[in-house]
Amino acid sequence: RMDQALLLVRNELPAPGLRLAARSGSCHQCLYQFLAFVPPSGGSLREAGTASVMVDTPHPLTLLLNSSAADTQLCKIEYHFGEFGNYSLVVKTLNASTKTVSCDLIVNEGPINSYLPILFAFLVYMGILAVLITVRLFMKIDPVRNWVYKKLNPRETDRLINSELGSPNTTDSINCDPAPHSWSTTSRQRLHSLDTFRGLSLVIMVFVNYGGGKYWFFKHESWNGKLPFPSALFTRFVFIMGTSIALSLSSMLRWGSSKWKVLRKILWRSFLLILLGIIVVNPNYCLGPLSWDNLRIPGVLQRLGFTYLVVAALELLFTRAESGTWEAPYPALQDILPYWPQWIFILMLEVVWLCLTFLLPVPDCPRGYLGPGGIGDFGNYPNCTGGAAGYIDRLLLGEKHIYQHPSSSVTYQTTMPYDPEGILGTINSIVMAFLGLQAGKITLFYKDQHKQIMSRFVIWSIVMGIISAILTKCSKEEGFIPINKNLWSISYVTTTACFAFILLLLIYYLVDVKKLWSGAPFFYPGMNSILVYIGHEVFENYFPFKWKMQDSQSHAEHLTQNLTATTLWVIISYVLYRRRIFWKI
């Protein structure tokens, strides 16, 4: 199967037999897991005892061979097996008098290069991009443009030429309201970089949710560790939501909406997000028809809805409708000091998270436990998955109403349900959105001052990076608070915020400052993010987003299917953009 190799163990030793166990390099302080019993040799090479096992290939493995009688260690091998490879482990006696045992690993058949489909897909998309750029350059040549005018409807041709291959121009820019009157001159101030940032995160999220070609590095980390590719996507979405809150609330109040009217809109939008997450997008798989007995209460949209409610209400309480900057005693802090009550509130929330995480007593678990449970921590706390975070969810929501298949269940073999979008982690998602809100305030305070905006983004990125380095001690497992996507630890938030500021800086520079990039094609999903996210979840198992494969163990087929589905949603969002159809809640 994918991410596996075949290992044939050949035992040429006389009785007793051997016990083969393994431990993954990604499993921190884990117990060795029994793989197979290898019978003893019958006294000749032809009668050697053999056993075949499947071994995992994503991470290096440590193989341990013990005598089944005295349970003494005979050999220990660390090796990174290749996908679909065929290997033999030969155990024999080198010296009969000293009873020295050797364990030789032999490659019978080399692994395949499972990354070639990624290279091929990259070349295909680069070819499409080259064709589009070439078409755009040719359209700038007068004879070619005149020929196109003759062949096509002049009005449609004008729209094609001015669209910059689908990118918005100044007359077609839009604001948050999809109504026809929104296509006015006031909407020219919309920052395309924000929609591009949101769309980029969303497109990658859709690709990963569809399977990511079944590559292990497109999956979430089992527990603590580095930031794998998909783990920062949701945080970027939360971050840019906070940025949009600052800009949209400022715009609504500046145009005369009362705070009560804006608050009603905030409450309604939060309610709809939570409702859609519970009713429409509910991934408690394999538990039968959706009913209250197995209804998952937390979720991605639910967390977005609640986070939006808190951060938007907090901003509404302290934002000002009038334009201009506040005369601060420290000009460098003019986007921070006027909102000191907000910072106090956020810091108090973080204190609550720290107290609950490290001080709340959890039955049969050590206080302040942050581990995965299962076979982690040498199997001492098998039912303590997530510590206080998991305990609070199980206590308040019930085990059947949270996520049943956490990422820790594979590597750490956990049996307790655990929800990565649970109650306690929502506190830090609010912190993440608030940091995004700060990015929005920077663009408001330093409007059209590109150097100031970009320098502030750099400063905030450095500050977040320093905080992360302190909290984690620049270590995967040994820090005060490790980076953990499942727990949404504060170090995870500061680390992803560090990269979010840098990414926003780059996109802002390319799209809004230098205008070297229109933001296409990511701009279009960014303009219809709710529709694309809900649509890709609802129609996930329907053609043309999914079809029956010839070989379900082929990365190439999975990658083709997942990229096709993701590309279709980009095309759908582009068509909706051209027709000025936007689904806002």
Whether the Cβ atoms of residue 38 and residue 20 lie closer than 8 Å to each other: yes
The active-site residue, picked from 80, 181, 192, 220, is: 220
Q: Give Cα 184 distance to the centre of its chain.
A: 36
Spatial CB neighbours of 268, under 8 Å, sequence gap ≥ 6: 585
Q: What is the DSSP letter of 100?
A: E
What is the rounded distance in angstroms from the CA atom of residue 165 to the CA atom of residue 239? Answer: 29
Is 59 part of the annotated catalytic residue set? no
- Helices then strands, counting H and E runs in the chain, come out as 16, 8
- SS3 for 175-228 is CCCCCHHHCCHHHHHCCHHHHHHHHHHHHHHHHHHCCHHHCHHHCCCCCECCCC
What is the rounded distance in angstroms from the CA atom of residue 253 to the CA atom of residue 261? Answer: 10
Of residues 130, 220, 102, the one with CA closest to residue 485: 220
What is the rounded distance in angstroms from the CA atom of residue 185 to the CA atom of residue 527? Answer: 18
Q: What are the Cα distances from residue 156, in Å, to 150, 279, 531? A: 12, 41, 27
Question: Torsion over CA of 391, 397, 403 and 408, rounded to 10 degrees?
Answer: 0
What is the rounded distance in angstroms from the CA atom of residue 487 to the CA atom of residue 527? Answer: 30
- SS3 for 447-495 is CCCHHHHHHHHHHHHHHHHHHHHHHHCCCCCCCCCCCECCCCCHHHHHH
Both tokens of residue 71? 């349970």
Both tokens of residue 571? 């095309």
Spatial CB neighbours of 13, under 8 Å, sequence gap ≥ 6: 40, 41, 91, 92, 93, 101
Whether the Cβ atoms of residue 196 and residue 525 lie closer than 8 Å to each other: no
Q: Give Cα 246 distance to the centre of its chain.
A: 24
Return the active site residues: 220
